């Protein structure tokens, strides 16, 4: 029996008097357990995923069905953090759908899917014509609060999941509204896109009321990969436009890295008249978004330039972040001063995407798998009824083989 399997089976206990992030717990813990189940076929991972998700469910007990974003795992008390003034966060509320639908598919219990999909139903009621929602949503009324619109922090993965649920759902009529919402939002993204002179860097602005802010988070560098993944769902002319935008944004994100002395990107960048870009917040915490997009673009275009760019980024991590016990971020990408922390997503996402960037496309094929926002692959399964609950087309395991408990 493997150490990891043994620990999950015998020691992993979620009955903790602890206020957890619903979003982070879903994408990291639920997503990770479901992925382990899909890759191994061992039901202990599915049972643990069900246990933790059942503890999260009270967060959805709001007037609108928009969930609170924090919950006590032992007592089920849900609330929002004080700094949001009682509002829920868009990305936090719109980034459970893949995992909850997958859990319903694998257990046959529709309650998880119903909770998560009701959020999308509520957001459809207030969906603006440009598809761009503010980052704060009132969980009681279900209406948007006046706040920033961004493809960076607190907005990003909502848009990602609109596309990926459509893919997870086999692109069928049942999930058509996800694709329609995503396409509407991509028109909004295009409206936020500007380019610099003289280097012609394309970037995605943030929107505050009626004005645009020339600021882009490294977090928003997931967007080139998302656009590339969704491009094929359009007609030929639009598909080419979307793919070209993905390529241009990826070039900008790569240069977030290349324009600093350490060749590692800052947390965000500002664009000014007559300038290409300048680092805003100058730390680097080993984020994955740029290499994620490079992986998608390499797989979908076959252009090895994206592998070259990924190798440059990997070498910069090796030079600046590697220490005897692992990897650490930088307090300042200009000076190279190190911090003392390796974020969990560095192994879960950044290194995983780098590995896949240099692996054959058949490894976790896009035809059979969809990645959640924490880079955990979930197997795409067929849909057999109008509720969207499906069963696997073949036994779980990375190559379709039935796999038993590790020895």
Structure tokens at 26: 């879903």
**Residue 39 · residue 352 · CB < 8 Å:** no
Which residues contribute to the annotated binding site?
Answer: 373
Give me the DSSP letters along 202-218: EEEPEEETTEEE-EEEG
User: What letters, b where the CB count within 10 A reaches 16 and e where it falls short, cover 294-330?
Assistant: bbbbbbbeeeeebbebbeebbebbeebbeeeeebbbb
Which residues contribute to the annotated binding site for Ca(2+)?
Answer: 373
DSSP 338: B
Q: What pTM, to 2 d.p., does this model score?
A: 0.93
Q: For the chain, give me the number of helices (H) and strands (E)?
A: 15, 16
What are the residue ranges spanned by the domains of the chain? 192-383
Structure tokens at 25: 């717990």
Active centre residues (catalytic): 24, 156, 267, 289
Per-residue pLDDT tens listing for the chain (407 residues)? 566 789 999 999 999 999 999 999 999 999 999 999 999 999 999 999 999 999 999 999 999 999 999 999 999 999 999 999 999 999 999 999 999 999 999 999 999 999 999 999 999 999 999 999 999 999 999 999 999 999 999 999 999 999 999 999 999 999 999 999 999 999 999 999 999 988 999 999 999 999 999 999 999 999 999 999 999 999 999 999 999 999 999 999 999 999 999 999 999 999 987 689 999 999 999 999 999 999 999 999 999 999 999 999 999 999 999 999 999 999 999 999 999 999 999 999 999 999 999 999 999 999 999 999 999 999 999 765 444 444 443 334 433 333 333 33
Separation between Cα atoms, residue 133 and residue 150, nearest integer Å: 8
> 143 to each of 43, 102, 134, 140, how far by Cα in Å?
39, 27, 10, 8
CATH value of 192-383 in 1.50.10.10, 1.20.120.1200, 1.10.10.2160, 3.40.640.10: 1.50.10.10
């Amino acid at each position: 029996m493997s150490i990891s399997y043994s620990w999950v089976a015998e020691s992993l206990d979620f009955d903790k008097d602890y206020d957890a992030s619903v979003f982070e717990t879903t994408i990291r813990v639920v997503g990770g357990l479901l992925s382990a189940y899909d890759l191994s076929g061992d039901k202990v991972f599915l049972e643990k995923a069900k246990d933790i998700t059942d503890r999260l469910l009270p967060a959805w007990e709001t007037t609108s069905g928009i969930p609170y974003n924090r919950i006590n795992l032992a007592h089920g008390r849900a609330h929002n953090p004080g700094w949001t003034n009682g509002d829920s966060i868009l990305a936090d509320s719109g980034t459970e759908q893949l995992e909850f639908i997958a859990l319903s598919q694998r257990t046959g219990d529709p309650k998880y899917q119903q909770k998560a999909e009701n959020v999308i139903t509520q957001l459809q009621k207030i969906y603006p014509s440009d598809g761009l929602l503010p980052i704060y949503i009132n969980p009681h009324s279900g209406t948007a609060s006046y706040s920033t619109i961004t493809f960076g922090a607190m907005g990003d993965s909502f848009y990602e999941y609109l596309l990926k649920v459509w893919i997870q759902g086999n692109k069928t009529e049942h999930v058509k509204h996800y694709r329609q919402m995503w396409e509407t939002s991509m028109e909004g993204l295009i409206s936020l896109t500007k380019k610099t002179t003289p280097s012609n860097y394309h970037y995605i602005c943030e929107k505050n009321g009626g004005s645009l802010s020339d600021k882009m988070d490294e977090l928003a560098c997931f967007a080139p990969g998302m656009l590339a993944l969704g491009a094929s769902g359009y007609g030929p002319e639009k598909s080419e436009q979307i793919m070209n935008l993905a390529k241009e944004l990826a070039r900008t994100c790569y240069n977030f890295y290349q324009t600093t002395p350490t060749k590692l990107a800052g947390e965000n960048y500002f664009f000014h008249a007559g300038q290409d870009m300048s680092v805003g917040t100058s730390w680097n915490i080993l984020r994955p978004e740029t290499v994620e997009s490079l992986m998608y673009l390499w797989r979908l275009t076959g252009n090895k330039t994206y592998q070259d760019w990924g190798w440059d980024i990997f070498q910069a991590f090796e030079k600046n972040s590697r220490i005897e016990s692992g990897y650490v971020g930088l307090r300042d990408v200009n000076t190279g001063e190190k911090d003392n922390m390796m974020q969990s997503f560095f192994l879960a996402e950044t290194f995983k995407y780098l590995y896949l960037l240099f692996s054959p496309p058949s490894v976790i094929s896009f035809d059979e798998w969809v990645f959640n926002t924490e880079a955990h692959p979930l197997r795409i399964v067929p849909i057999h009824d109008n509720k969207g609950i499906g069963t696997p087309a073949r036994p779980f395991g990375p190559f379709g083989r039935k796999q038993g408990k590790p020895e």
